[in-house]
């Protein structure tokens, strides 16, 4: 006689539906505004989380930009609130998370989406430049993690999603030393959190965007292509990608939404590369 499989055994019963649902979860997005008009990764992620039913904490230094994200969510009937501060400053981080918890309760998902850079290699990057960029890109991740990990561990569940960059994995065609080094540090930081807290139900993963067409293209990246228009810069970047186009903020946001959900319950300590095949190229 065949033994009955336990309910949790592979093949027992019906396979579960894909649990891409964040109803009632609280998601804190550090960097939920946008560098300019349009859809940044942080803004698209905020809206995507809200569409999945999450209560979204839209945190940013730019009050008007964060408020715009919150308004977009409200217009769709979602739940969000704006929190203003600099996550590179410890006092601001403590206040931001206290305000977020007072509004929505304990944080279920931390989405760390901040990053700045400066063009240049070792000779063009001062120690002050590196310290400033490290404070925003890495120190802020430490400060935010310290705010959520104790509660997540006590409840036995939580997800940390950090946004890195392909620049943290390879040379991207121009010197971007401080940005690249700090984005590499984000990957290793997240791996370490994943290992330490896995037994406490906390997952930590890094999303690694490639060449993404966001408002940052107009404000910073287009400057890397001298003597070209913004449209020409976009076309030059698209030609680098095997799939023939730059990614959109939504491409990245959807990857983040997967990692935030229970559909990724067995995914931790890894990097989800969203780059259209870019990092797999030989040249």
* Calpha distance 171→159 (Å, rounded): 29
Q: How many angstroms separate the CA atoms of 225 and 241, rounded?
A: 16
Residue 33 near residue 113, CB atoms below 8 Å? no
- Residue 178 to residues 53, 54, 79, 141, 231: CA-CA distances in angstroms? 37, 34, 36, 16, 27
Structure tokens at 100: 């977020």
Q: Rounded to whole angstroms, how far apart are CA atoms 163 and 204?
A: 11
Residues 6+ apart with CB under 8 A from 110: 27, 28, 30, 144, 145, 148, 158, 159, 160, 161
Distance CA 141, CA 147 (A): 10
Smallest CA-to-CA distance from 65 within 87, 93, 46, 92 is with 46
Q: End-to-end distance of the chain based on CA atoms, in angstroms?
A: 59
Q: Choosing from 49, 174, 179, 282, which is the catalytic residue?
A: 179
Q: Is 282 a residue of the active site?
A: no
Helix (H, G, I), strand (E, B) or coil at 55: strand
Catalytic residues: 179
């Amino acid at each position: 006689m065949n033994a009955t499989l336990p309910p949790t055994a592979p093949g027992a019963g019906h396979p579960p539906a894909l649990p891409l649902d964040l109803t009632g979860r609280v998601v804190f997005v550090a960097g939920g505004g946008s560098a300019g008009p349009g859809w940044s990764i942080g803004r698209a992620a905020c809206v995507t989380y809200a569409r999945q039913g999450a209560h979204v904490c839209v945190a940013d230094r730019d009050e008007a930009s964060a408020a715009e994200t919150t308004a977009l969510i409200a217009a769709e009937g979602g739940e969000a609130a704006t929190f203003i501060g600099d996550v590179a400053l410890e006092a601001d981080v403590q206040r931001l998370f206290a305000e977020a918890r007072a509004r929505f309760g304990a944080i279920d998902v931390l989405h760390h989406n901040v990053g700045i850079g400066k063009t240049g290699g070792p000779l063009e990057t001062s120690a002050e430049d590196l310290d400033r960029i490290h404070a925003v890109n890495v120190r802020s991740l430490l400060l935010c993690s310290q705010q959520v990990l104790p509660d997540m561990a006590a409840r036995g569940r939580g997800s940390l999603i950090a946004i890195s960059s392909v620049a943290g994995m390879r040379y991207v065609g121009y010197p971007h030393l401080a940005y690249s080094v700090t984005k590499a540090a984000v990957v290793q930081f997240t791996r370490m959190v994943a290992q330490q807290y896995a037994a406490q139900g906390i997952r930590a993963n890094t999303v690694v965007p490639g060449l993404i067409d966001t408002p940052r293209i107009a404000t910073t990246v287009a400057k890397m292509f001298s003597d070209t228009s913004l449209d020409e810069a976009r076309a030059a970047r698209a030609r680098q990608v095997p799939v023939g186009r730059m990614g959109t903020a939504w491409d990245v946001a959807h990857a983040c939404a997967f990692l935030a959900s229970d559909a990724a319950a067995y995914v931790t300590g890894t990097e989800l590369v969203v780059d259209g095949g870019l990092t797999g190229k030989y040249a």
